[in-house]
Amino acid sequence: MNATKQLLSGVRVADFSRVLAGPYATAMLADQGAEVFKIEMPGHGDDSRHLGPFTDTGSTYFTSLNRGKRSIEADLKDTEQHAQLLDFIRTCDVVVENFRPGVAAKLGLSFEDIKAVKPDIVYASISGFGQTGAQAKRPAYDTVIQALSGLMSSTGFPDGSPTRVGESIADVSAGVFAAFGVSSALFHRQTTGEGSHIDIPMLDVMLAMQPTNTAIHAAGSTPNRVGNRHPISAPFDTYAAADGLVVIAVANDKLFGVLSATLGKPGLVLDSRFATDSDRSDNDDALRAEIEEFTTGHTVAELCAIFDAAGVPNSPVLNFAEAVNGPITDGRGLTTTDARTCHTHLRHPLLVDGVRPTSALPVPHLGEHNDELSAERTDAPRSAEPTKE
């Protein structure tokens, strides 16, 4: 197998972020080879060190978000340590922070403050509502953003209440966009020598993550809760089996013909109610009745085998353990175990030349790399050279 290619090797990151969105972003950068220094509150560290679940070696939540990083304790309000931090940042390429807008400036660590000592810095700010505007200083958590973005109102069943997605998707998505923004800005710096301030508002990210709802809105409608079915395609839902639920996903006429034949009902393609995807969506209840007449006579396992053989996209509904440890992911190297905590966490989802990037560094003890902050700097501050025409 090819060796891991470290796409961000040589990139140094000062990470002031806490809990989820920022640490998720910097973990992705660390997996790709960046040298990430996590700046933490003395004696306490990132709040996620104290968030469960726990084993006797610490928080599994912290482990999954802070793999491959180094830890420096620093009192951001202490004059001497602040000066040391600025000296340290001169050796860095990237700063990531998720303070509430205005806090970094009060601490003397804003983009302008950092740019004064490191003109080509790539500086990423993650917040609920962005760095400017009337809502900028409003506090935000993932659930707040899910509610304000319209995602919650369109999630759940029609006769139920709006439902939070079963993961902190706004935080995680903001982290992904932050990593994308940082990588793009590093490329820009490589070609121009210019630094950048990347503003990542969680609300904007969550709105951008809803292309289907955007399309529905653009057509003059309001996205509503439709349960597990797709809001504009059918059959695209969970269907009753003899022992549970099976997912069937059909989004074009040719595949619907294959499904109809597999159900033993080839005449469905001639039914005007089901002639097109839009027709099928409009007549979803009638179509469900036709499908479940077949599916309720078989187990989930039998149905998956039948549909697999026919080439109809399908799946059982798995829990997380079944998804991670089951046959679908077997042999894909999705997980790794931290050498220090013995916690298992998911590796980077992208493969580079067939290899899943990962950092070999164990999850850091609080303040384990404090000497990096106080060390004498004999190396010159690093600055990208613009590409010569």
Q: Which residues are catalytic?
A: 230
Helix axes 169-192, 21-31, angle to 10 degrees: 50
- Angle between helix axes 253-262 and 300-310 (nearest 10 degrees) is 130
Pair of tokens at residue 97: 């922070």
As given in the structure block, the two tokens for residue 51 are 């968030």
Contact 244, 291 (CB under 8 A): no
Q: Residue-wise over 217-255: b if at least 16 C-beta within 10 A, else e?
A: eeeeeebebbeebbbbbbbbbbbebeeebbbbbbeeeeb
- Short-list 248, 224, 243, CA closest to 314: 248
| CA pair distance 113, 107, nearest whole angstrom | 10
Give me 236's structure tokens: 């695209």
Cα–Cα distance measured from residue 101 to residue 110, given in angstroms and rounded to the nearest whole number: 9
| Cβ-based neighbour number of residue 382 at 10 Å | 14
3-class secondary structure, 127: strand
Q: Could you give the CA distance from residue 277 to residue 35 in angstroms, rounded to a whole number?
A: 49
Phi, psi of 310 (to 5 degrees): -85, -15
> Residues of 168-182 as b/e, b for ≥16 C-beta within 10 angstroms?
bbbbbbbbbbbbebb
DSSP H or E stretch at residue 368: none
Q: Round to whole Å and give the CA distance between 65 and 186.
A: 22
Picking from 61, 66, 108, the residue whose alpha carbon sits closest to that of residue 359 is 66
